[in-house]
Amino acid sequence: MPYRFLADAIVFLHFLFVIFVVAGGFLALRWRRLIWIHLPACLWGAAIEFGGWICPLTPLENRLRSLAGQSGYPGGFIQHYVLPIVYPADLTRELQIVLGIGVVAVNLAAYALRWSRRRRAG
């Protein structure tokens, strides 16, 4: 039971991290110091997508599921949890690159907005 709870907690935290990576730049518009947390998170998220890697949280979740008597899953967190929500097809390398570009583009827009606001104010 505790392993299943921990695996579910990892999924929840992982999902929050993905949301933060994608939309955290807009939070940084409001809370300036958040930039120092968001930028490394965004770089990590983009690197995972562009590199075709699996986040270390995924094997940890699978290990906890195994200890709980459940089966894990192949592939990464995005492929297993997020894509079935957003896309009906399996994750391809091309789609992974598109997702990485999307993360970068959304955050570049957020930081450009932040920079233009700061420039107008100063």
Of all residues in the chain, what percent carry a pLDDT higher than 90?
7
- Domain total of the chain: 1
The mean of the pLDDT values for the chain is 82
Rg (CA), the chain: 17
Q: Is the distance from CB of 17 to CB of 81 less than 8 angstroms?
A: no
pLDDT at site 71: 75
Which residues form the domain of 65? Answer: 2-121
Enter the tokens of residue 50: 């562009």
- CA-CA distance, 29 to 64, in Å (whole number)? 37
Q: Which pTM value belongs to this model?
A: 0.67
| Residue predicted with more confidence, 88 or 36 | 36
Alpha-helix residue ranges (DSSP H) falling in 35-92: 35-51, 57-67, 77, 83-86
Enter the tokens of residue 109: 């827009």
* Other Cβ atoms within 10 Å of 21 Cβ, number: 21
- CA-CA distance, 40 to 29, in Å (whole number)? 16
Alpha carbon separation from 98 to 40, 46, 79, 91, 122 (Å, rounded): 20, 10, 13, 11, 36
